[in-house]
Amino acid sequence: MLLFLVRNSLPFMFVFAVLGFLLPSVSVAFFPFLPIVLFALMSLTLLGMKQHELIKRLRSKEVWFYSVLHSLVFMAGVGAIGWWLSFESDLLLAAVAVAATGSLFATPAIVRALGFDSLQAMAMTIATTLVLPISIFITLIVFQTKQVELDWGSYLMRLVIFIFGPMLFSFLAHRFFPEEILSRFLIKISPYTILLVFAFPFGLVGSFRLLFNQDSIMALNYFLIATGLCFLFFIFSFVFYYKKGKAIALTAAITSGNRNVLLTYSIAGALLGPAFLPLAGALQIPTYFLPIFTRWLNRTLLK
DSSP type of residue 37? H
More confident position, 243 or 41: 243
Task: Check: CB of residue 294 under 8 Å from CB of residue 114.
Answer: yes
Q: What are the distances in angstroms from CA 170 to CA 34, 177, 188, 196, 220?
A: 21, 10, 17, 18, 43
> In percent, how much of the chain has pLDDT > 90?
31
Residue-wise pLDDT tens digits, 74-130: 999 999 999 999 899 899 999 999 999 999 877 887 788 778 888 888 899 989 988
More confident position, 234 or 9: 234
Domain 2-302 has CATH 1.20.1530.20: yes
Using the predicted structure, report yes or no on whether residue 303 has a pLDDT greater than 70.
no
Task: Check: CB of residue 258 under 8 Å from CB of residue 250.
Answer: no
- The pLDDT of 164-185, averaged and rounded, is 80
- The pLDDT of 238-262, averaged and rounded, is 90
Residue-wise pLDDT tens digits, 124-148: 998 998 898 889 889 988 887 666 6
Q: What are the residue ranges spanned by the domains of the chain?
A: 2-302
Determine the Cα–Cα distance for residues 198 and 2; give it in Å rounded to an integer.
13
Query: What dihedral do alpha carbons 173, 175, 178, 181 form, nearest 10°?
Result: 20
Nearest to 212 by CA among 5, 9, 20: 20
Please report the pLDDT score of residue 302 as a whole number: 58
DSSP-based three-state secondary structure for 300:
helix
